Amino acid sequence: MPKIDVKSVEGQVVGSVDLPDNIFAVEYNPHVIQEIIRMQTANKRRGTHKVKTRGEVTGSTRKPYRQKGTGRARMGTLKTPLRKGGGVIFGPQPRDYSFSPPKKVRRNALKVALSKTLADGFLEVIREFEVEQPKTKALVNRLDPGQDTPKTLIVLAEPQDNLRKSLRNVPNYKVLLTEGLNVYDLVNSRRVILMEKTIPLITKRLG
């Protein structure tokens, strides 16, 4: 069973916590990670792309010129896709890109992502602390005194409005509640901070 130090927000070790093997020591599976990231990005697509077909183009239905005797190719309508301003053949139409893999696959992908984050040394556990006022500079200095901030994901056990407001305009920080923890943000972060109280919540969700 993996064990990780619990630190204060200033970086001092204040304890340790055991992490369950079935969540934080799962064998890496790139296929399941790729599948869930593809799902998350596809589900964000609006799918509102649209072009007009020949039946939707505004224009006259008159035949441009007579069928025979002109020496030109026969033409039945000005709205043909062969003419400028005509309709589009097989163009994009509004559609829903979303799909949903089985729940077991989604749960397993989150376990794999958490295990990979821990194995790569990107995971930190911090004891809960209070943010009395939404002050961006003060909080960033506490979280990263060296100011060399990688992409950081902070996972909270309960809403903390002052913390969220302090970091909402900082590009490299993202704050989520435990129930919002997802594969894409884990893979996309180079520093993942779990508040100590999130460990039992994650265990309950994925155990």
What mean pLDDT, rounded, does the chain reach? Answer: 92
Residue that has been written with the tokens 């435990």 in this structure: 178
Which domains are seen in the chain, by residue range?
3-46+98-206 (3.40.1370.10), 51-91 (no CATH)
Residues 29-33: contacts with CB under 8 Å, at least 24 apart? 29/108, 29/109, 29/112, 32/105, 32/108, 32/109, 32/112, 33/109, 33/112, 33/113, 33/116, 33/183, 33/187
pLDDT band with cut points at 50, 70 and 90 for residue 147: low
pLDDT score at 87? 94
Q: What is the pTM of this model?
A: 0.84
Which helix (H) or strand (E) covers residue 15, if one does? strand 13-18
pLDDT score at 49? 96
In the sheet that 3-7 helps form, which strands lie side by side, from edge to edge? 13-18, 3-7, 123-126, 191-195, 152-156, 173-177
How far is 157 from 106, CA to CA, in rounded Å? 21
For range 72-95, the mean pLDDT: 93
pLDDT score at 145? 74
Q: How far is CA 162 from the centre of its chain?
A: 24
How far is 110 from 181, CA to CA, in rounded Å? 8
Summarize pLDDT for 166-180 with one digit per residue, the tens: 999 988 899 999 999
